Amino acid sequence: MPQAASSEVAAAVAEAHRREWAFVLAATLRVTGDIDTAEEAVQDAYASALSTWGPRGIPKNPGAWLTVTARRRALDMHRRAATAQRALPKLLGPGEYLPDAPGRDGEDITDDRLRLIFTCCHPALAPDAQVALTLRLLCGLSTADVARAFLVPEATIAARITRAKKKIAAARIPYRVPAASELRDRLDGVLSVVYLVYTTGHTAPSGENLMRRDLAERGHELARMLRVLLPGDGDVAGLLALVLLTDARSSARLDEHRELVLMENQDRSKWDRSAITEGVALLREALNLRPPSRFALMAAIAAVHDESNSWSDTDWQEILGLYDLLLEKWPSPVVKLNRAIAVGFAVGHAEGLAELDALGAEPQLARYPYLAAARANFLARLGRFDDVRVAFEEALILTENDTERRYLQSRLSELTG
Amino acid sequence: MSKYLILIFQDDAVTQQADGESISAAYQEFMQRRNGSLLSGAALQPASTATSIRRHGSGGFTVTDGPFAESKETLGGYFLIEAADLDEALEIAKEVPAGVGVEVRRVRVVS
């Protein structure tokens, strides 16, 4: 292999980190049976790639190179520990320990990553720990990055991850793909975690920026990874379709001054046509399953928006029908809110407003800024300007995202002007 | 294989069974079905009969009437089982016909 420049090496390592981390970690974990040792060995392998890929050239298959290096490193670490204290791996019994695991075929490699994601999203772990572990072990994010993404102190995330790893070892949470009989339930949990990662990046609950692109991209990659691992699964297809169809609009969500643009006013030529085409094809596949999953229904709603030529062309009857189906499957307050908005456009602004007012009693929506913002929107369309101001002010108090706050402020000052 | 303790929680009203009363059919069926995994188990007298002992920092004890933690759900009994991992233990625990639910804890290995 020819020598490589340091900038090339840095880019290749960064790319391998993004693409191959989960693969390398999962394959190393099979050898160590212990998450901490595997993580350390994989980190070492990436560090040594930085120093050896320059003089020796970038390998043709970086993932395989990293896996071999990490496994060798893990075995060294394990041998040293074994001589020192005769310690046994924590996840596998002595009989299952595979020090000289030969080259694996494709299916085993697939299984490794599936095992890892089902372990990270095991229902015996707290939901926020599932998210943190998934980002850490499958995406290779550092504790500091996970903390930054969720605007939580680093110490909190570190404690959460440590506690989760301790529970995996102490309670013996198995490192395996669930049996067919429980796969459905367990996969729902995995899909929820991946979707949560995506939505937190799509619209950050708080902070300076409307989106956290890095986090949205991680969610997108995780959804794509699941699709590769479980190609025949309709729910997985539905989730990836939803992510693609939502993401397709993201570059039109901010104007040139980085201010929020509602879908109604977006420049639809900026929407990503290839993402929409791919998303719609996946959606068709997902909808072939009866009954369609929650994510497939949400993707179908996104597809109706993505395929309309303009806001006024939008088929609101179709959207309302899809929300009715979604509400049966997933009766959450946020779905009720979105359905009420659909009523406002499919039936009439006054009817939509009445539906929104009825939701005021939902405790989970009491501090949700989008309820007040949606009310303000319909009140404005109905010409009730005194009430509009109160509703915008309420939304302004509740939102913690700076971009959304600036948008609401400008709407308020339009009212005054 | 690992040992897990399944702690059975119920409303205290339900635990007012007298000594010698026969085990309910649901429990008998569970115990027969999972015979291979069960190491031991017992039903407890109601939580109202519990006595708690708290250790002082100074070395003495305070003995008080009642369970260690007061709550609506009380510990009604337990099974000690053997299982390959948490998933198998949870599968067995789901079959315990407990009124409120159960808590599963792996037994710590001490040397």
pLDDT tens digits for range B73-89: 889 899 999 999 999 99
**Contact: B87, A173; criterion CB under 8 Å:** yes
The domains of chain A, with CATH numbers, are: 1-86 (1.10.1740.10), 110-205 (no CATH), 344-417 (1.25.40)
Q: Which are the contacts of A362, defined by CB distance < 8 A and separation ≥ 6? A: A333, A336
Taking contacts as CB-CB distances below 8 angstroms, the residues of chain B near A174 are 84-87
Nearest Cα to Cα of residue A401 among A257, A157, A127, A212: A212
The residue ranges of every structural domain in chain B are: 2-106
**Residue A97 clears pLDDT 70, i.e. is over it:** no
What are the angstrom distances between the C-alpha of A181 and each of A178, A187, A238, A286, B91? 8, 11, 21, 21, 12
The band of A235, judged by pLDDT with boundaries at 50, 70 and 90, is: very high
**Contact: A178, B86; criterion CB under 8 Å:** no
**Contact: B105, A178; criterion CB under 8 Å:** no
Distance in angstroms (rounded) separating the CA atoms of residues A74 and A63? 16
CB-nearest partner of B106 from A171, A174, A178: A171
The band of A1, judged by pLDDT with boundaries at 50, 70 and 90, is: low
**Contact: B86, A172; criterion CB under 8 Å:** yes
Percent of chain B at pLDDT exceeding 90: 49
Q: Which are the contacts of A234, defined by CB distance < 8 A and separation ≥ 6? A: A285, A286, A288, A289, A292, A293, A296
* Chain A residue with the nearest C-alpha to that of B85: A172
Indicate the average pLDDT of chain B.
87
Please state whether beta strands A400-401 and A206-207 pair in parallel, antiparallel, or not at all (unpaired): parallel
Taken in order A234, A237, A241, A247, the sign of the CA dihedral is positive
Nearest Cα to Cα of residue B41 among B3, B86, B88, B91: B3
**Residue B31 clears pLDDT 90, i.e. is over it:** yes
Pick from B5, B87, B110, B111 the residue to mutate for testing the A interface (most A CBs within 10 Å). Answer: B87
Q: Give how far A94 is from chain B: nearest CA, Å.
A: 12
Q: Is A233 helix (H, G, I), strand (E, B) or coil?
A: coil
**Residue A106 clears pLDDT 70, i.e. is over it:** no
Q: Give how far B20 is from chain A: nearest CA, Å.
A: 35
The band of B16, judged by pLDDT with boundaries at 50, 70 and 90, is: low
Q: What CATH topology corresponds to B2-106?
A: Alpha-Beta Plaits (3.30.70)
Distance in angstroms (rounded) separating the CA atoms of residues A227 and A114? 11
DSSP, residue by residue, A64-133: HHHHHHHHHHHHHHHHHHHHHH-PPPSSS-GGG--TT--PPPHHHHHHHHHHHHHHHT-TTS-HHHHHHH
CB B6, CB B104: distance < 8 Å = yes
Indicate the average pLDDT of chain A.
89
- Predicted TM-score (pTM) of this structure: 0.85
Percent of chain A at pLDDT exceeding 70: 93
**Contact: A172, B90; criterion CB under 8 Å:** no
The residue with greater pLDDT, A416 or A236, is A236
Residue A105 has a pLDDT of: 44
**Mean pLDDT score, A244-269:** 95
**Residue A204 clears pLDDT 60, i.e. is over it:** yes
Taking contacts as CB-CB distances below 8 angstroms, the residues of chain A near B90 are 124
**Residue A316 clears pLDDT 70, i.e. is over it:** yes
Q: How far is CA B107 from the centre of its chain?
A: 13
**Contact: B2, A178; criterion CB under 8 Å:** no
How long a stretch of residues is chain A?
Answer: 417
Q: Give how far B92 is from chain A: nearest CA, Å.
A: 14
**Contact: B106, A124; criterion CB under 8 Å:** no
